[in-house]
């Protein structure tokens, strides 16, 4: 089997049950989540193989791939069975966020400028792309109901990557750069 099928050469692609335009909101949302999975892979490569977050990041990649399968399936075609997975995974993310935040020496009360270390900056890239995916999923949800646990999972995942970026900065011995609103003097 060849890697190319030529089936999408005219701007349409297959999803479960039909073919749609490649700019369909379902395809757009999945494309962004595909970017998220790739950016997570870059982040994993920035970390030592024995780093505590390696396996968690790999699990996130697997879960995002599962989520992409759910998003690629119109609600009238979806057989079900994954609803509780995303709800349980959201609760797991909340525990990890709480652990990360409890272990940090500072409380986050400002917007943080992405940077500090490569891993921290890459975590911010993942966070930002997750926010974009979330917006696309909200649009999709207006057209076709997606599983109840999907939006909270993606929302919490972006929260986690914010906390993770702060963890990476502190782990390296640096401090976050807090953004402050510039107010010109009169």
**Domain membership flag for residue 53:** yes
Distance CA 135, CA 9 (A): 28
Contact present, 134 and 154 (Cβ < 8 Å): yes
What are φ and ψ of residue 55, in 5° steps? -70, -35
Provide the H-helix boundaries in the chain. Answer: 25-46, 54-71, 83-103, 118-143, 150-171
Length of the chain: 186
Is pLDDT at 23 greater than 80 in this prediction?
Answer: yes
Domain-embedded: residue 117:
yes
Distances 123 to 25, 57, 181 between C-alpha atoms, Å: 25, 11, 23
pLDDT value at position 35? Answer: 98
Tell me, yes or no, whether 124 lies in a domain.
yes
Flag whether 28 is in a domain: yes
Is residue 2 situated within a structural domain? no
Quick check: 38 pLDDT over 70? yes
Q: What is the pLDDT of residue 48?
A: 96
Indicate which CATH number applies to the domain containing 35: 1.20.1200.10
Backbone conformation region of residue 183, classed left if phi is above 0, alpha if psi is from -120 to 50, else beta: beta
Cβ–Cβ under 8 Å, residues 145 and 75:
yes
Number of domains, the chain: 1
Q: Which residue has the tokens 């940090």?
A: 104
183 is a domain residue? no
pLDDT band, very low/low/confident/very high, at 184 (cuts 50, 70, 90): low
Does 186 reside within a domain? no
Beta-bridge mates of residue 112: 178
131's CB contacts (< 8 A; 6+ apart) are 158
Closest CA to 36 of 15, 63, 56: 63
- Determine the Cα–Cα distance for residues 158 and 124; give it in Å rounded to an integer: 9
Q: How far apart are CA 81 and CA 69, in angstroms?
A: 12
Tell whether 6 is covered by a domain: no
Expressed as residue numbers, the domain containing 132 is 12-174
Mean pLDDT (the chain) is: 91
Q: Using an 8 Å Cβ cutoff, are 32 and 132 in contact? A: yes
Tens of pLDDT, residues 39-72? 999 999 999 999 999 999 999 999 999 999 999 9
What's the whole-number mean pLDDT along residues 106-131?
92
Work out the average pLDDT over 136-155.
Answer: 95
């Amino acid at each position: 089997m060849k890697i190319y099928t030529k089936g999408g050469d005219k701007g349409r692609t297959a999803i479960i049950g039909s073919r749609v335009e490649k700019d369909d909101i379902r395809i757009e949302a999945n494309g962004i989540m595909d970017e998220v999975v790739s950016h997570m892979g870059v982040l994993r490569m920035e970390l030592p193989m024995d780093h505590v977050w390696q396996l968690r990041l790999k699990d996130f990649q697997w879960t995002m791939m599962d989520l992409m399968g759910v998003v690629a399936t119109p609600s009238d075609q979806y057989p079900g069975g994954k609803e509780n997975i995303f709800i349980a995974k959201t609760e797991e993310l909340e525990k990890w966020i709480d652990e990360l935040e409890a272990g940090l020496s500072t409380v986050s009360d400002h917007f943080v400028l992405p940077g500090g270390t490569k891993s921290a900056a890459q975590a911010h890239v993942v966070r930002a792309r997750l926010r974009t995916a979330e917006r696309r999923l909200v649009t999709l949800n207006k057209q076709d109901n997606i599983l109840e646990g999907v939006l909270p999972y993606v929302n919490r995942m972006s929260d986690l990557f914010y906390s993770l970026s702060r963890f990476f900065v502190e782990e390296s011995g640096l401090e976050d750069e807090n953004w402050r609103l510039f107010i010109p003097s009169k």
